[in-house]
Structure 1
Amino acid sequence: MKLQHYLGGLEGIDSEPLNFEKRVFVEPWETRIFGIHVAMMGLSKHLNKALPQYPIESVPTKFKSIWTWADLRKGAEAMNPFDYFRFRYYEKWLGGISGFFVQSGYITQEELDARTVTYLEKTNTSLPRLSEPAIDDQVIDYLHRGDPAIREVNRQPKFNAGQKVLVKDVPTTDHTRLPGYLRNKTGIVDRVYEGAYAYLCSTGADGLGEPMYVYSIKFDPKDIWGEMAETNSWVYADLFEVYVEAA
């Protein structure tokens, strides 16, 4: 959630009227890039440690990497902010996934560019059609069961409902789940969610990775936006424990 990825509380970003597109997919190719992303998640190497466990090692796939929603978000957040605002939703997906395959050595940039030219010049060129039942079964199994995030930890939550807490201003490198407009703001713990939650990947200096408790925290809008805030309202945010400290 870097600047270009999470705009809550910022003004003057848009120079043109916003287009609230209600269609899930605008172009046919967007369904394919969505399917590629889902297949990558269903074949991700980290699933051999997930609950319930998946037999990833026995699936005959050449995909040997870890891929989660967080990796997709990191790709989008790494974009130049001007490009981020210029491209549509699934265009960001396409750029992030393509960059990942190049960086991971599955394809070279030259091979990708050549394939792109081929399809641009001959738009009726048939797409590759390959089928491996074991891979298909694994992806379908993943869609049914998912990747449960709740884990067990041998400790109690640090904070209780009703407790006043301060949101930290943690360093951000590749990725963060802390909205920028809540940093250094004070709120009240409204709810402590049951169980500890493991995030999809380690975020380094940001502090996410290991299982931890998550809190629903209530903020007075005036503490965030001053006199411009709406009256008789509250702002609620679900935050990982590493992001807050006792006020």
Structure 2
Amino acid sequence: MKLQHYLGGLESLGPVSTETRVFVEEWEKRIFGIHTAMMALSSQLPLPATPSAFRTVWTWADLRKGAEAMNPFDYFKYRYYEKWLGGICGYFVANGYITEEELEARTAEYYADPDKPLPQDSAAPAAGTTIDQRVERYLMEGDSPKSDLDIAPAFKEGDAVHIRNVPSIVHTRLPGFLRNRSGVVETVYPGAYGYLTDTGTDGIGAPMPVYCVRFAVEELWPGNTEPNVTLYADLYATYVATAA
């Protein structure tokens, strides 16, 4: 990606965090829970119907687009789940669940009094009802990008290919360091795969073949790699073109 959300292959970015804990602070669990509930309520899986007022579709791509829309200086300043929170808040504002002014006012209230009780919805269903059941089933079953469509791949194993330099105005699944590079198809995965939502400009959305492409790292980063190292990348067909 050319966006700041993907840093692979970039140099001189300073020290890299080696934090291994999934959740460093308690509030991060709440952000993950909100995201998971939004995913479950958006899912097209045959899950229990719920009385939720959540009426739109939320996907991983929405979360990532929200993070990538941040000013790059802010992006590098905030923690992982703070970026999630920014993406979620932006989504709720954009879809009319709350106004920016209402969100700012509510935020100011809790800055002034962090111990203030959270608002309670008198109409909210009790624990263990259909919303909980839907979220629990979603966590067990998840979403799959695999499609039932039978789409013939354009390349076969061993074919030399060139990686396109697709637009990246919004979220894309192509690592920036592979743009305009050449590789060899290592594996053609059976079936066709889509993305959870159309990414906008780079061609992902509808199901398509996916390839594992092999790259020689000395060609990716000349003069700055260890010898005899190979990199493999799973790439959607829209990114893969015939070698010149």
What TM bracket, shorter-length normalisation? over 0.9
Once superposed, which parts of structure 1, at least 4 consecutive aligned residues long, lie more than 4 Å away?
Answer: none
Aligned position for 1:38: 36
Any residues of structure 2 matched to 1:108-147 within 5 Å, and which?
Answer: 108-129=99-120, 131-132=124-125, 133-147=129-143
- Normalising by structure 2, we get a TM-score of 0.92
1:19 Cα offset (Å): 2.7
Which secondary structure state, in structure 1, belongs to the residue aligned with residue 132 of structure 2?
Answer: helix
**Which residue of 183, 186, 194 corresponds with 1:187?**
183
Amino acid at match of 2:18: F
Aligned residues: 238
TM-score w.r.t. the length of structure 1 is 0.91
| Helix, strand or coil at the partner of 1:205 | coil
Range that drifts further, 213-222 or 134-143: 134-143
For structure 2, the 5+ residue unaligned runs are none
CA distance in 1: counterparts of 2:5 and 2:240, whole angstroms: 21
* Residues 77-129 of structure 1: CA deviation (Å, up to 9, x unaligned): 11111111111101111111111111111011121112112212212112235
2:65 is matched with which residue?
74
2:209 paired with 1:213? yes
Give the distance between the partners of 2:25 and 2:242, measured in 1 at CA. 48
Match of 2:228 in 1: 232
CA contact (8 A) 1:222 1:229 kept: yes
What does the per-residue CA deviation read over 1:116-159, in whole Å, with 9 as the maximum and x for residues that have no partner?
Answer: 12212212112235542222221112112111221122332111
Query: Could you tell me whether the CA contact under 8 Å between 2:150 and 2:192 is conserved in 1?
Result: no
Q: How does 1:89-100 map to 2 (within 5 A)?
A: 89-100=80-91
Q: Does 1:4 align with 2:8?
A: no
Counterpart contact for 2:160–2:185, Cα < 8 Å: yes
Distance 1:82 1:208 in 2: 28
For 2:25 and 2:203, locate their aligned partners in 1 and report how far apart those are by CA, in whole Å: 38
Moved more, 196-205 or 80-89: 196-205
Match of 1:27 among 25, 28, 42: 25
- Output the CA distance in 1 between the equivalents of 2:52 and 2:2: 33
Q: Unmatched 5+ residue regions in structure 1?
A: none
Q: Percent identity?
A: 55
Q: Does 1:62 align with 2:53?
A: yes
Partner deviation per Cα, 1:203-235 (whole Å, 9 max, x = no partner): 222000001111111000111101212211101
Alignment of 1:128-207 (within 5 A): 128-129=119-120, 131-132=124-125, 133-207=129-203
Residue 53 (structure 1) aligns with: 46
Q: CA RMSD in A?
A: 1.5
Return the alpha-carbon distance in structure 1 between the equivalents of residues 85 and 164 of structure 2. Answer: 33
Distance in 2 of aligned mates of 1:128 and 1:139: 21
User: Post-superposition shift, 1:64?
Assistant: 0.9
Name the CA distance, whole Å, in 2 between partners of 1:21 and 1:246: 41
